[in-house]
Structures are given as C-alpha cells and as structure tokens.
Amino acid sequence: MTDRRQAGIGPVVSARHLAQGELPELSEVEFALSMTGHAFHRWIVRCMAAAGGPAMQPLEVLVLHLVHHRARPKTLADICLVLNIEDTHLANYAIRKLVGHGLVTQGRKGKEKTVTITPEGAALCERYGEVRAGLLLDAARQAGVAPAEMSRIAALLRHLSGAYDQAARGAAAL
C-alpha cells in the first residue's frame, strides 16, 4: 500500500467507480494514459509547428514520421497496422493533407497505393528531431528513469494495448 493510500487519499483516477474493487491500479494507469495521450498529442503538434511545419493534427504528424521511417514506401495497410488505426478513412485523410502540403507523395506497388516521404517531408522530420532533442530529452532524463526501464515501460504499454484491443473485440461481440 502506498503512502497516499495509507493517508486515505486513494488512487489518482478520473472515475472513482472504476477504481473500486479489484485492481484499482489499472484505473490509475488508464487516467495516466489519458493524460499522457493528450499531452503527447499537444506536444507533437506544437513541436511540428516549432520545426516550421504547417498546421497539422496529431495523426498527420504520426503518419509523416512513420512514412519517413526507414525511407521506404508504406501502404495504407502498413500505416493503419503500425499506428493501430481502425478507421482507414482517418489515415487516408491524413495522407491527403500531407500530400497537399508536399510532405509525402503517393505512388503504386502493384494494385496498392503507397506513400513516400518527399525531400521536404524528410527535412521537416529531421528539424522536428532537432527541436525534440532541444526541448524534450533533458526533461525526460530528469525524470530519473533509466533507459532500460523506459524500454520496459514501453513494452508494458504495448502489452496493455493488446489487452485493450482484445477486450474491445470481446465488448463488440456482446
């Protein structure tokens, strides 16, 4: 039991009714994920703007970085799979906006459409990396989490995403 709970404060959650019963810590994780997700989306949009990019939504920033990853063309299916996007029209819309900004181009690989980074898109991703390094890395280091522990936390979050996906399939079948 943490000191907080010993003091009668209880877990830090957004929905007390979900923290009652077994595993209230999961409600703490869910609240932290919600706060972190919103903060992360705010960050990537503002970092992209600071890097000189056009106004973008979070999904557009994520798609741009993924398309730049390893400088290989990506299919819509690749993008949706890696980013865990269920609604392909959202990814398609983000791609169209990135094409409009001249940051990616569309092509074909057989019957599938592909998306490739442009030199302008690659330069913007590199500038984003510089802004990120200048503004975020020191703050992340100051959290005092060892790199190996950060990787373990990332693995845990990926595992939880699978658990939530499985639970969503179960809920859809009810």
Q: What is the pLDDT along the chain (174 residues), one digit of tens a residue?
A: 456 666 667 677 777 777 777 888 888 888 899 999 999 999 999 999 999 999 999 999 999 999 999 989 999 999 999 999 999 999 999 999 999 999 999 999 888 999 999 999 999 999 999 999 999 999 999 999 999 999 999 999 999 999 999 999 999 999
Whole-prediction pTM: 0.88
Domain of residue 162, residue span = 144-169
Report the SS3 class of residue 144.
coil
Cβ atoms of 113 and 91 closer than 8 Å: no
Round to whole Å and give the CA distance between 2 and 11.
9
Same domain, 91 and 114: yes
> Other C-beta atoms within 10 Å of 167: how many?
10
Are 34 and 113 in the same domain? Answer: yes
Residue 4 forms part of a structural domain: no
User: Which of these, 8, 125, 24, 11, lies nearest to 66 by C-alpha position?
Assistant: 125
Residue 88 located in a structural domain: yes
Q: Considering the domain boundaries, does residue 62 fall inside one?
A: yes
> Is there a domain that residue 59 lies in?
yes
Looking at the domain assignment, is residue 75 inside a domain?
yes
Residue 34 lies in a domain: yes
Residues 111 and 152 in one domain: no
The total number of structural domains in the chain stands at: 2
152 is written with which tokens?
Answer: 């373990």
